[in-house]
Structure 1
Amino acid sequence: MKFLHAAACLLLGAFAAAAAPRAQTLEFATAGGGAVAPPVARGDYLYVATGATIGVWDMHDPAHPAFAGRTAPAVGAIDSLVEVDGYLYAAWSRPDATAGITIYALDVPAQPAVAGEFDDYVQSDFKGPLGLAASGSHVYLGDSQNGLFVLDAQQPLAPAVLGQVEGAYVFDSMAVFGTQLLASGNSFLGGRIVDVIDITDPAAPVLAGSTSLDGTLVLRAALTDGYAIGVGNDLMVYDLHDPANITQIFDAPIDQATGAIRDGDTLYLVGDSGIQVWDFATPSAPALLRTVPAPTFAPDQTALTAFGPLILTHTDRGVLLGTDDPQTPTVAAQFTLPIGVAAKAIAFDGDQAYFAEEGYGLASADAHSLAPLGRFDADLPPSLAARDFEGLSIDSGRAYLAAWGYGVVIADLADPAAPTELGRFPFFAATAIEAHGDRLYVGSTTNGGVFRVLDVSNPAQPTELGALLTSKTYDLTVRGDYAYLADGADFGDGGLRVVDVSDAANPAVVGQEMSCPYANGLDVSADGNTAYIACSDGSLRIVDTTDRSAPQEIGSVTLPGVPSLPDYNSAHSVVVSGGIAYVGNEYGVDEVDVSVPDAPVAGVRHETGFFVSKVEQAPDGRVFALTQVAGAYVFAPGSDTIFADGFD
């Protein structure tokens, strides 16, 4: 689900400020990862959009998919892909309601290249293109805000609008079968809707019928020739042959599944238990044949491709099924979605980068190329809530992970390709985490915050030394004998808390600064004398903490919005280096000159495809902006940039 956040393209733009800031210090380097869109297969290649980029897999040998690279990012997060006469159309959207289609040429199939943009299909202040489907030279663009549009793509680089159909507004998935265009998605009132659109006249579609699926039992709908297949806690089959009289012809409880693939007379339901294989020869009476184990926890996308049934999971896996015997499928191949579908934190250790991945644990990658090296799947209950890894700290060859639904998990990084668990500590709603030697500091956010100090000298048996009630601790860092907490004012005072941790058994608040009631992130100078607060009101606040008992705000600057939302922004994360604060916010990463702390000056904005939830800096000076939905954006220091002011 996309929230109302604004993000943008890769062009680097400067905005007005009270005084002239220093020249920009970063340049865009690369991007990757993010939410998965439905894949496209063409020839010997598979195209998978994650976030704002499209990954390319060479499938000459389907048993051994080979990652061939990824495209330059689209302007926003890609929601849908379709192939049109040797071009890929990628429908992107940004939560500031701007949207469009980026067109990639496939002249070199392994290297799709941006060939054009198309964003004027409708005059509207709000756009939401979610789905694409193609039939011949006609492309159908489903926009959740404005309806269905028919594009003439005889000239693929210059599509033209032929018509518009109102009344259909759900386009999470779309497919064409003969003279029917099927569309499905969540309704505003809950549950799923399936629309059947008559495209007998391709340029003048007509909404021919619609039906609602029980939202308590159906989580998704698969669209197939003549039938819609609802899956979730039940398997429900709907006959679409007569769109004016859509009828439910089957209903049975199942092991929960959130994906379905129909391959002729065989139906594969995909869920946490693996692949449920059904005989679908009689759609009104499908029969369960068997369940085949497979690494399919949390499927995000399922598709029948030229290479076989394909599952793309929220845990960064691509799983290709072998169907030589359709009713006894096998796992024919697996591959990893680089950077991850939902990376929430990043940390570095030598030549390795580590991502905290929502849904399973830790992904290791080459710190320079970001090529996947390995993964650590925490042995936690098969639930995205339990496995929601939100925080990561690396210290002395160990990774410390904060799992919101469980607590702390500790992994040994001796072999970056295969981290192994060392120990764990239950702590519901753990979010912020930082390790220093034998001490681990952890904060939580739900139903009232708690700050805990753990002894991890024996990682197999972490023990609590002391605890302190807070409000909602979104971020924390430790400098010497003091911990600095960024709190939200939901269950008490928000802002900055300074906590004395010299007596680990009795951590105590010694000072507070509450000018920002909802502090989302912070960075603190190495000497502990200056704190930088990313505030939910869109400001960066600078606090003098020389006197730990009486921290005082000494400067602040409010980051601007965008033309459609000029007064709205929220700062989520900050890292400071070389007198520049890099502030992750709703629209990207803003550089703020903080060399004069009482007069910070906002400067260049590096725009991203979605709001930036976390900013971190690598040892080589690169700045990583994690947006989750649109993926990770990496910005490299310019040739004249110097990082040398003592900040971590």
Structure 2
Amino acid sequence: MKWLRTVVSLWFGMSILAGTAAAQTLHPVDAGGGALSSPAVHGAYLYVGTGATINVWDMSDPAEPAYVGRTGASPAPGPISSLAVVGDYLYAAWSSMGMAAGITIYSLADPAHPVGAAEYDDYVDSAFFGPVGLVASGALLYLGDAQNGLFVLDTSNPTAPSVIGQASDIYAFDAMAINGTQLLTSGSSFLGGRLVYAIDVSDPTMPSVEGSAELDGGSVLRAVLTDGYAIGVGNDLLVYDTHDGANITQVYATAIEQATGAIRLGDVLYLVGDSGIQVWDFATPTAPSLIRTVAAPTFAPDQTAVTPFGPLVLTHTDRAVLLGTTDPLQPTLAAQFDVPVGVSAHAAGFDGTHAYFAEEGYGLGVADATTLAPVGRYDADLPPYLAARDMEDISVDGGRAYLAAWGYGVLIADLTNPAAPVELGRFEFPFASAIEAHGDRVYVASTTNGGIFKVLDVSNPASPQELGSILTSQTYDLTVRGNHAFLVDGANFGDGGLRIVDISNPSAPTVVGQEQSCPFASGVFVSDDGNTTYVACSSDTTFASALQVIDTTDKTQPLLLGSLALPGLPPNLTDYNDAHSVVVVGDTAYVGNEYGLDEVDVSNPAAPTWMARHDTGYVVRKVELAPDGRVFAFSSVGGVHVFAPERGDAIFADGFDG
């Protein structure tokens, strides 16, 4: 793997050199949010990976967790999947879409502020790799790689581990647990089921598979591994006895109210689901019994863990929930705290003091504009499933936030008190995906099953009214300049490309011009005067992904001025790269794409010039521009990466935002 990491590093190093003709204009200053890792603990500190960063809480008083900060100024090269602590070091396994992967090693000399001490990627020589799970036992670290198997690492030299053993016939590592000389691992099979492996590690230099089992049925969503038992949860509760690893046996099965997490505390088992905590008597694992269900804010649990501070649930709605177990049969809510930036923020809007994030699982997250520390949130009252609560886009205007909720439509929130936004009204429009607000008008469009563009009157936000609409194809993005709306579409349900709509009569919006050299357009940015339009093109008529510059002075006859195909990724993906989003500042376009954020010089519209790439470790679907010049790149599970102009500003220099 080292050779591939070297190639990738050289490529992104070359991206800086390539910008010598027109030097890059941004530098990274912060990162946060993204998919949740399994947590880790060192003393009184709790560590949770979100995207490419480590978040730290001081849990000295578990009833009042204190957020310390995150490693935002020095993110890992890719989304972090798991964490483990050995001595005074924190190990974080990460993977960048299979292109690069490894372990970032942090020193915990100051446990409140992890500091990157080393990168380790020499555990296997492979063209494909994917470190997924980590578990520590003494000075040994067990690493599960979904492409290459199990590796046993000796951490006697903490910043330079060495492989002392491996087993290449195991590929399921979503969960790992070690009890004595038995290591249990679990993950998805190639057919979509759940597998459990029992591995004998009595001799860590020669780990050997004792046996395995496939958890019965397609109703199991996750497996939780405990001492002597593997517990499958989903629509069923399944219990497998793993004491004899060579003969893993199902000992119990029953249908349950859906749960996607489980926590075992001795003779008590908590099943965690959208409706709360199911408390089970587990004294007899072959015959557990449901005692009660306790209401708790655990909708969409992503991670569950036993910690010294109490059972912990990390949800897809940016909540961390700590349970009190003075009486294990009557768990209580000991603490609840927010995960900064968000597990899956899709877009952002800004005012002078706050950033407002469109969050996938619940609604609106409000953060301090400078530090991105959580300030407040708005939880939309929507059906309790994630598709209905998926906030695809946001527009902030006149003290209100307008959200495009894919599963519902338009939601309007009052931002007078950012700590507690209040819903003002809503408009039903399923599959809403792009939105922009100007005064009493809201412009919103859909993508799924064919596009529709609507103009809404929100002068009475409690009762938005549709003024007019037109059919489109698949509108992925839009913006408004004066009396014209600029839409970009995919071609699966009609004409793709740029569509210019006259909205001077909002009751009768009319397409007045189209430019169709990009049949699959994803993002759009338009100059203030409306005369120059930039399109992030996923696939043009030559099947290239490109940034297009279009003259839209004459709205009825948009004219393609120039186009630049974005470079792919050597050595095997040089021609593959989709452009997804674009914003322009001066003569520089910032283009979100499959591999990060690219800078393109557009001073000569007829010949845009590629300048540099900022690697984010995951696909950048959306790019937003803050009022102070910072550029926010939204990379889904990889989190939000923040860049500032090269002139720099001291207030953005500290990645910890306490």
Aligned equivalents of 2:358, 2:336: Cα separation in 1 = 21
Give the residue type in structure 1 aligned to 2:549: I
Any conservation in 2 of the 1:344–1:358 contact (CA below 8 Å)? yes
Any conservation in 2 of the 1:9–1:607 contact (CA below 8 Å)? no
State the 1:216 CA deviation.
2.4
Q: Alignment partner for residue 176 of structure 2, among 170, 174, 186?
A: 174
Give the residue type in structure 2 aligned to 1:38: S
- For 1:114-263, list aligned pairs within 5 A: 114-263=116-265
State the 1:214 CA deviation.
3.5
Aligned equivalents of 1:20, 1:151: Cα separation in 2 = 42
Aligned equivalents of 2:225, 2:35: Cα separation in 1 = 21
Mark the CA change 1:50 to 1:17 in structure 2 (over 3 Å): closer, same or farther: closer
Give the residue type in structure 1 aligned to 2:486: Y
Give the residue type in structure 2 aligned to 1:445: T
Superposed CA offset, 1:452-480 (max 9, x none): 11111111111111111111100000111
Q: 1:287 is matched with which residue?
A: 289
Does 2:548 align with 1:541? Answer: yes
Q: 2:570 is matched with which residue?
A: 563
Q: 2:396 is matched with which residue?
A: 394
Give the residue type in structure 2 aligned to 1:160: S
What TM-score does the superposition give when structure 2 sets the normalisation length?
A: 0.94
Does 2:638 align with 1:638? Answer: no
Aligned equivalents of 2:214, 2:510: Cα separation in 1 = 55
Aligned equivalents of 1:258, 1:475: Cα separation in 2 = 34
State the 1:163 CA deviation.
2.3
Aligned equivalents of 1:19, 1:115: Cα separation in 2 = 29
Does 2:631 align with 1:605? Answer: no
Any conservation in 2 of the 1:360–1:378 contact (CA below 8 Å)? yes
Q: 2:3 is matched with which residue?
A: none
Aligned equivalents of 2:98, 2:582: Cα separation in 1 = 22
Q: 1:490 is matched with which residue?
A: 492
Any conservation in 1 of the 2:16–2:612 contact (CA below 8 Å)? no
Aligned equivalents of 1:191, 1:345: Cα separation in 2 = 34
Give the residue type in structure 2 aligned to 1:45: Y
2:246 is paired with a residue whose SS is helix
State the 1:42 CA deviation.
1.5
Q: 2:64 is matched with which residue?
A: 64
State the 1:203 CA deviation.
1.7
State the 1:200 CA deviation.
1.3
Segments of 5+ residues of structure 1 without an aligned counterpart are 1-6, 642-648
Mark the CA change 1:11 to 1:461 in structure 2 (over 3 Å): closer, same or farther: farther
Q: 1:25 is matched with which residue?
A: 25
Q: 1:646 is matched with which residue?
A: none
Give the residue type in structure 2 aligned to 1:552: L
Greater helix share, 1 or 2? 2
Any conservation in 2 of the 1:82–1:88 contact (CA below 8 Å)? yes
Give the residue type in structure 2 aligned to 1:617: L
Any conservation in 2 of the 1:622–1:634 contact (CA below 8 Å)? yes
Any conservation in 2 of the 1:10–1:28 contact (CA below 8 Å)? no
Aligned equivalents of 2:515, 2:500: Cα separation in 1 = 9
State the 1:366 CA deviation.
0.6
Q: Alignment partner for residue 505 of structure 1, among 504, 507, 510?
A: 507
Give the residue type in structure 2 aligned to 1:519: A
Aligned equivalents of 2:167, 2:20: Cα separation in 1 = 49
State the 1:8 CA deviation.
7.9
Aligned equivalents of 1:42, 1:160: Cα separation in 2 = 23
Any conservation in 1 of the 2:16–2:24 contact (CA below 8 Å)? no
Any conservation in 1 of the 2:444–2:453 contact (CA below 8 Å)? yes
Does 2:624 align with 1:622? Answer: no
Q: 2:560 is matched with which residue?
A: 553
2:392 is paired with a residue whose SS is strand
Q: Alignment partner for residue 338 of structure 1, among 337, 340, 345?
A: 340
Q: Alignment partner for residue 599 of structure 2, among 587, 591, 610?
A: 591
1:27 is paired with a residue whose SS is strand
Mark the CA change 1:143 to 1:96 in structure 2 (over 3 Å): closer, same or farther: closer
Aligned equivalents of 2:163, 2:462: Cα separation in 1 = 63
Any conservation in 2 of the 1:8–1:94 contact (CA below 8 Å)? no
2:638 is paired with a residue whose SS is coil
Aligned equivalents of 1:9, 1:46: Cα separation in 2 = 31
Superposed CA offset, 1:390-410 (max 9, x none): 110011111000111111111
Aligned equivalents of 2:648, 2:31: Cα separation in 1 = 23
Aligned equivalents of 1:519, 1:491: Cα separation in 2 = 13
State the 1:13 CA deviation.
3.8
Q: 2:456 is matched with which residue?
A: 454
Superposed CA offset, 1:465-498 (max 9, x none): 1111111100000111111101001101111001
Superposed CA offset, 1:423-455 (max 9, x none): 111111100000111111111111111111111
Any conservation in 1 of the 2:496–2:519 contact (CA below 8 Å)? yes
Aligned-residue sequence identity (percent) comes to: 66
Aligned equivalents of 1:389, 1:458: Cα separation in 2 = 22
Aligned equivalents of 2:8, 2:638: Cα separation in 1 = 10
Any conservation in 2 of the 1:344–1:626 contact (CA below 8 Å)? yes
2:584 is paired with a residue whose SS is strand
1:629 is paired with a residue whose SS is helix
Q: 1:42 is matched with which residue?
A: 42
Give the root-mean-square deviation of aligned CA atoms.
Answer: 1.7
Q: 1:645 is matched with which residue?
A: none
Mark the CA change 1:416 to 1:16 in structure 2 (over 3 Å): closer, same or farther: closer
Give the residue type in structure 1 aligned to 2:579: A
Superposed CA offset, 1:300-337 (max 9, x none): 00000011100000000010000000000000001110
Q: Alignment partner for residue 477 of structure 1, among 463, 479, 496?
A: 479
Q: 1:326 is matched with which residue?
A: 328
Give the residue type in structure 2 aligned to 1:336: D
Mark the CA change 1:449 to 1:21 in structure 2 (over 3 Å): closer, same or farther: farther
Give the residue type in structure 1 aligned to 2:101: A
Q: 2:359 is matched with which residue?
A: 357
Aligned equivalents of 1:341, 1:193: Cα separation in 2 = 27
State the 1:133 CA deviation.
1.2
1:368 is paired with a residue whose SS is coil
State the 1:213 CA deviation.
1.6
Aligned equivalents of 2:330, 2:577: Cα separation in 1 = 52
State the 1:290 CA deviation.
0.7
Any conservation in 1 of the 2:222–2:261 contact (CA below 8 Å)? yes
Q: 1:3 is matched with which residue?
A: none
Aligned equivalents of 2:449, 2:250: Cα separation in 1 = 42
Does 2:587 align with 1:579? Answer: yes
2:388 is paired with a residue whose SS is coil
Any conservation in 2 of the 1:185–1:193 contact (CA below 8 Å)? yes
State the 1:215 CA deviation.
4.8
Q: 1:301 is matched with which residue?
A: 303
